[in-house]
Chain A
Amino acid sequence: MIQIEGFSKSFGERVAVDNLSLRIAKGEIFGLLGPNGAGKTTTIRVLTMLTRPTTGKIIIDGSEASQDEKHIKAVIGVVPQHFNLDIDLTPRENLELHGRLHHMLPEVRKKRIEELLKYVELDDRANDMVQKFSGGMKRRLMIARALLHQPKVLFLDEPTVGLDPQVRRRLWDLIRRLKNQGLTVLLTTHYIEEAENLCQRVAIMEKGKLIAMDSPIAICRRFGEYVVEWSDDKGTKTKFFPDRNSASSFATTLTTTTTLRQANLEDAFVELTGRKVVN
């Protein structure tokens, strides 16, 4: 569904994304992980036609970006990181503007707007001004907007930043439901558990380069299935082990408090990127 070949993007001297290639299948939830400044947002901006790549080829739903941008724009839905709703309009008007921009027929548009307002549970606030909305409500409205024209691919850039845990879980359910309906989803996140929970495959980016790409489980186990974690005066340390026995025998050699547990995506991520992600 999405095919990226040798894509690079530089801003002047600075290389934001360096020779990225990947393929995402139809109906897949794909996660793009990486520390701040790794190039995730630049990748999303290029895939959503907001920025043009310096080099490389982008193919979405069979159309190449440089040839048929309009087709791609018509089949993608985008939820950006920042709130970019029109605060001079009501939620219903925001959706209507989006529907008009995507050339939806008036009857279809009206029906779809009502459906989606119910779906994201904003139907009772549909005529208030967006300006008064909370972060969670704005995020839900942005998702409704992205889905209005029934896209085939959904891009979510840090979809759950700043949301309450309950709202975040509801969003996860929503994203899973969409996947079951055949939608392809590409999301960026730096909440590791979000990627673990949602994605079939994740790619880890650092400094513009792809440094790992696999299922979350496979990446977790890459360095060993078990982890021993302990603290000394230089900070927290972790060590990977292939099985529980070797891990526990190592743990007994330490004099400080130790934790022995199964490796998670965060451990592998830290090992790969060499720095701890700050939530």
Chain B
Amino acid sequence: MVYDIWTVFWRDWLVLKRRIGRFILSRMVSPVLYLVAFGWGLGRSIQVNQGSYLDFIVPGIIALNSMNISFNSVGSPLNMSRLYHKTLEEYLIAPIASSSFVIGKVLSGALRGLISSVIIIALAYLFGAHALINSWFLLTLVLNCLVFASMAFVAAMVMNSHEDMANFNTYILLPMSFLCATFFVPDHLPTLMRLIIELLPLTHASYALRAIALGGDVPKLSLLVMLVYSISFTGIGIWLLEKVRE
């Protein structure tokens, strides 16, 4: 099982290694834009909880960026491999367990999310942000990557065209990246909207990353919520992969 997970992961690593330069460069674009627009531009005139707005949004940007990268590293390629290239069949024909394939894919998506997060953390320091990066911070980040890599697996197995996959991005990920406590605290929103937002996994990632980065208590409940999300999505992913054969 561990060997099969490693095989699935190894293939993705091989492909990533070949494109690592391009991967890193392209991953720098959107965080730099966020940091310039919201940190330098808009942020100069905003004070949040006696801190600078830049320090406030860096954890939010890390949360939304690791979400996007983890999701898109798994979602589109897997969807294409299932529908167009049919390379998924190579794994379905092989004598490996469905769970090995799911876990391997989720881990490789999470790795890409983590690499891009390291890039943002480095950029944020260059922009003059202050954040406390400790092992709780890393744990939260890893959990967030796992949540969205496994969610992407589920989406890729359910969506039956490349276009639907893009729509999933537009209708689910894009609203989350703006609403889930990334750029502002959703305390002043209408109650119903706030309750929905508080159910979403990215909200917990932003809260937890921000609390830890600013030196506060570790919100263990948020970490637990993210853990439950990632285990559930992984489980659904395994179930869907089994169902493909029906």
Contact = CB atoms under 8 A, between A and B. Distances in A.
B2 interface: no
Interface stretch (B61-69, B92-100, B215-223): B92-100
A14 interface: no
A265 interface: no
Interface stretch (A73-81, A166-174, A181-189, A225-233): A73-81
Contacts of B92: 49-50
A48 B245 CA distance: 11
B208 to A, nearest CB: 35
A95 to B, nearest CB: 11
Nearest to B101: A101
A97 B89 CA distance: 13
A103 interface: yes
15 contacts: A48-B93, A49-B92, A50-B93, A71-B95, A73-B93, A74-B95, A78-B93, A82-B86, A84-B86, A86-B11, A86-B90, A87-B85, A89-B11, A97-B10, A98-B90
A93 B17 CA distance: 13
Given A74-B95, A100-B10, A101-B4, A50 B245 contact: yes
A173 B132 CA distance: 67
Interface in A62-117: 70-71, 73-74, 76, 78, 80, 82, 84-89, 93, 97-98, 100-103
B90 A84 contact: yes
Contacts of A73: 93-95
Contacts of A150: none
B91 interface: yes
A102 B7 CA distance: 10
Interface string A181-211: 0000000000000000000000000000000
Interface string B14-41: 1100100000000000000000000000
Contacts of B18: 88
A239 B92 CA distance: 47
A85 B84 CA distance: 11
A50 to B, nearest CB: 6
Interface string B154-176: 00000000000000000000000
Contacts, number: 60
B46 to A, nearest CB: 44
A141 B94 CA distance: 17
The A contact surface, by secondary structure, is: loop
Nearest to B18: A88
Contacts of A80: 86, 89
Given A74-B95, A97-B10, A102-B95, 6 more contacts: A48-B93, A52-B245, A80-B86, A84-B89, A89-B15, A100-B3
A147 to B, nearest CB: 14
Contact of A101 (B7, B15, B86, B246): B7
B245 A49 contact: yes
B160 to A, nearest CB: 15
Contact of B93 (A49, A89, A97): A49
Contacts of A88: 15, 18
Contacts of A74: 95
A70 B14 CA distance: 26
Nearest to A73: B95
B3 A97 contact: no
Counting chain A CB atoms within 10 Å of each CB, which of B7, B15, B93 scores highest? B93
Contact of B87 (A48, A51, A85): A85
Nearest to A82: B86
Nearest to A86: B87
Contacts of B93: 48-50, 73, 76, 78
A51 B93 CA distance: 10
B223 to A, nearest CB: 34
Contacts of B87: 84-86
Contact of A84 (B10, B85, B94): B85
Contacts of A102: 94-95
